[in-house]
């Protein structure tokens, strides 16, 4: 895990393997961002022109390494692009800082210590840079290097020192602590997502939650397959019954104060989605270990909320099952009696996420929380609609949907509001049961949302995040986003909990 320190030291004087400076796109080549003055001085004021000569422009994603001139303690200067230079108040946006810091941390893989001399105008900027660096430094190496966990390659950047921050200033300290807790939990979610499904079974996931609960004062209750059958959780049981690895429903309870607001989070935790009897074809199942990303995000958010002592009560529900075909698997045509009492005709066993979520949503509703947010890699249709970096937000309340979308924007996560058109409900009419688990193909992401809505308790404010696009990144790493599990939506969920606790949801 990468360490984080605050430092008032100057960029020239701190002992480190590298000093990171920011550059932005100017009209005539790169411009040096604030924070890098001492480094520029060591270059006799010519840092911008040297970088220009090397072809650096200041564009986002750019990382240029230079040997240090005399006068700098660090032997290496790394210039990272911040994108367009700010127009108005001269400060850079938090997301530009977060991404640049992530790019820098990736470029410095193998280094022990890096001094970040990026522009910091506020504790929020320090937070963003810390988040980007700690998320960018992430690497999943548990399965490499001949069985030991050290791996054979270079380890991640070991220490991030934020220059231009005051270690004794309360606001800066809080910003650093928040960034550290948040990113450690996001990276923990990434680890869970990246862990191969032969090791991360529902039972194994529940054990990880149990251990983390003990460590952070979170109550953890686990329903095993017997308890699920006995409790009437027909959705979770129906999805899990084809697998040799039985399902679990995990409840995490973080209690701040009995009078505080209550947020319930529900996560889709399909540890592997083969499609079941409606088997996915080759080409569609290689990354389906990521189908528990919603549960991983919920888990990470509850732990982060507890570690940060947020002024809100948060309950997390992890609906864990493995969707496999076998002689005991649910068939297309089977009818399941759900926890709510409704019956569902399973027309396609690959539409399994909504089945496990339906039970968890109804269970979560029984406690009458102030709001429920579910998170799921639910539909390929949402990926078609919004692409690989944006999650869809649906809700039974326009104001809440807007609040969730704006909250995501605040923390630098891309999302977009999506409707729940009532006319799509009739496509799920079943001749046999109360509802079918599939409807019209067109608008498939919204159809799934409409299905879930039927399992939200009367009068409860609810939002649904379909993170099928951004949960798992298959392309080249960029900014603070690595290959594989991303930890999508954790920052949004934590900020949302914070805002609900502070009665700041507009
Ligand atoms: N886990 C998938 C959705 C998914 C697709 C996640 C791509 C991440 C990337 C989900 O369980 C699924 O299979 N959905 C089906 C639903 C359909 C059968 C109604 C889909 O989207 O095709
Ligand atoms: Mn599926
Ligand atoms: Zn799935």
Token reading at 211: 């251990």
Query: Does 148 have pLDDT greater than 60?
Result: no
Indicate which residue's Cα is closest to atom 8 of ligand 1.
468
Q: What's the pLDDT at 146?
A: 62
- Give the H/E segment covering residue 52: helix 47-53
Q: What's the pLDDT at 152?
A: 53
CA distance 362 to 487: 25
In this structure, are 278 and 129 located in the same domain?
no
Q: What is the value of pTM for the model shown?
A: 0.97
Q: Which of 83-87, 168-172, 253-257, 416-420 has the least mean pLDDT?
A: 83-87
* pLDDT tens-digit series, residues 279-326: 999 999 999 999 999 999 999 999 999 999 999 999 999 999 999 999
In this structure, are 110 and 249 located in the same domain?
no
| Residue bearing tokens 């529940």 | 206
Q: What's the pLDDT at 89?
A: 84
Q: Ligand 3 centre from 218 Cα, in Å? A: 28
Token reading at 49: 């022109």
* pLDDT tens-digit series, residues 492-506: 999 999 999 999 987
Determine the structural domain holding residue 156 and report its residue range. Answer: 3-165
In this structure, are 158 and 11 located in the same domain?
yes
Buried b (16+ CB within 10 A) or exposed e, 432-451: ebbbbbbbeeebbbbbbbbb
CB 496 within 8 A of CB 370: no
Q: Ligand 2 centre from 352 Cα, in Å? A: 5
Mutate which of 378, 445, 449, 489 for ligand 1? The one with the most ligand atoms within 8 Å of its CB, which is: 378
In this structure, are 146 and 213 located in the same domain?
no
In this structure, are 244 and 303 located in the same domain?
yes
In this structure, are 191 and 86 located in the same domain?
no
Q: Ligand 1 centre from 170 Cα, in Å? A: 46
In a domain, 173, yes or no: no
* pLDDT tens-digit series, residues 378-394: 999 999 999 999 999 99
In this structure, are 292 and 344 located in the same domain?
yes
* pLDDT tens-digit series, residues 400-422: 999 999 999 999 999 999 999 99
User: What would the mean pLDDT of 126-132 be, rounded to a whole number?
Assistant: 98
In this structure, are 100 and 241 located in the same domain?
no
Mean model confidence pLDDT for the chain:
97
Query: Does 221 have pLDDT greater than 80?
Result: yes
In a domain, 304, yes or no: yes
In this structure, are 138 and 245 located in the same domain?
no
CA angle 464, 434, 429 (to 5 degrees): 80
Query: Does 251 have pLDDT greater than 90?
Result: yes
In a domain, 176, yes or no: no
CB 99 within 8 A of CB 93: no
In this structure, are 343 and 385 located in the same domain?
yes
In this structure, are 146 and 244 located in the same domain?
no
CB 364 within 8 A of CB 315: yes
In a domain, 174, yes or no: no
CA distance 264 to 317: 8
User: What would the mean pLDDT of 328-333 be, rounded to a whole number?
Assistant: 98
The size of the chain, in residues, is 506
The CATH number of whichever domain residue 467 belongs to comes to 3.40.630.10
The CATH number of whichever domain residue 108 belongs to comes to 3.40.220.10
CA distance 204 to 200: 5
In the three-class reduction of DSSP (H, G, I as helix; E, B as strand; rest coil), residue 315 is classed as strand
């Amino acid at each position: 895990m990468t360490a984080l320190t605050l430092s008032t030291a100057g960029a020239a004087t701190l002992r480190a393997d590298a000093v990171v400076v920011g550059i932005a796109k100017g009209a005539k080549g790169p411009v040096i961002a604030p924070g890098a003055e001492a480094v520029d001085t060591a270059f006799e004021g010519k840092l911008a022109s040297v970088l220009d000569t090397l072809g650096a422009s200041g564009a986002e994603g750019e990382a240029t390494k230079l040997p240090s001139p005399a006068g700098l303690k660090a032997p290496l200067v790394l210039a990272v692009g911040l994108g367009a230079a700010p127009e108005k108040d001269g400060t850079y946006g938090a997301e530009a800082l977060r991404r640049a810091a992530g790019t820098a941390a990736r470029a410095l893989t193998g280094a022990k210590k890096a001094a970040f001399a990026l522009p910091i105008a506020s504790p929020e900027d320090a937070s963003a840079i810390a988040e980007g660096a700690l998320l960018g430094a992430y690497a999943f190496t548990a399965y490499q290097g001949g069985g030991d966990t050290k791996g054979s390659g270079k380890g991640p950047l070991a220490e991030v020192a934020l220059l231009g921050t005051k270690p004794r200033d309360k606001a800066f300290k809080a910003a650093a602590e928040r960034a550290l807790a948040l990113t450690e939990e996001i990276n923990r979610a990434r680890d869970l997502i990246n862990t191969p499904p032969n090791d991360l079974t529902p039972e194994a996931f529940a054990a990880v939650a149990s251990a983390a609960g003990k460590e952070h004062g979170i109550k953890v209750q686990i329903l095993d397959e017997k308890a699920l059958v006995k409790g009437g959780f027909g959705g979770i049981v129906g999805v899990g019954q084809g697998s040799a690895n039985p399902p679990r429903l995990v409840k995490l309870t973080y209690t701040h104060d009995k009078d505080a607001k209550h947020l319930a989070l529900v996560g889709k935790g399909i540890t592997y989605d083969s499609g079941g009897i409606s088997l996915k074809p080759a080409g569609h199942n290689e990354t389906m270990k990521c189908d528990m990303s919603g549960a991983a995000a919920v888990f990470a958010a509850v732990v982060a909320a507890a570690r940060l002592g947020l002024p809100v009560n948060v309950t997390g529900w992890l609906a864990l099952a493995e969707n496999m075909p076998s002689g005991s698997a649910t068939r297309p045509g089977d009818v399941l009696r759900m926890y709510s009492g409704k019956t569902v005709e399973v027309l396609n066993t690959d539409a399994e996420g909504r089945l496990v979520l339906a039970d968890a949503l109804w269970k979560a509703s029984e406690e009458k929380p102030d709001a429920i947010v579910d998170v799921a890699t639910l539909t390929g249709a949402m990926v078609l609609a919004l692409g690989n970096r944006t999650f869809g937000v649906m809700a039974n309340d326009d104001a809440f949907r807007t609040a969730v979308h704006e909250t995501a924007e605040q923390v630098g996560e891309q999302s977009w509001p999506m409707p729940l058109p009532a006319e799509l409900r009739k496509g799920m009419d079943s001749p046999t049961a109360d509802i079918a688990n599939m409807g019209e193909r067109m608008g498939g992401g919204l159809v799934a949302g409409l299905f879930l809505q039927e399992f939200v308790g009367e009068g409860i404010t609810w939002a649904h995040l379909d993170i099928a696009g951004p949960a798992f990144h298959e392309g080249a790493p960029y900014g603070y986003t690595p290959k594989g599990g991303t930890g999508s939506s954790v920052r949004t969920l934590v900020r949302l909990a914070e805002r609900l606790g502070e009665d700041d949801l507009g």
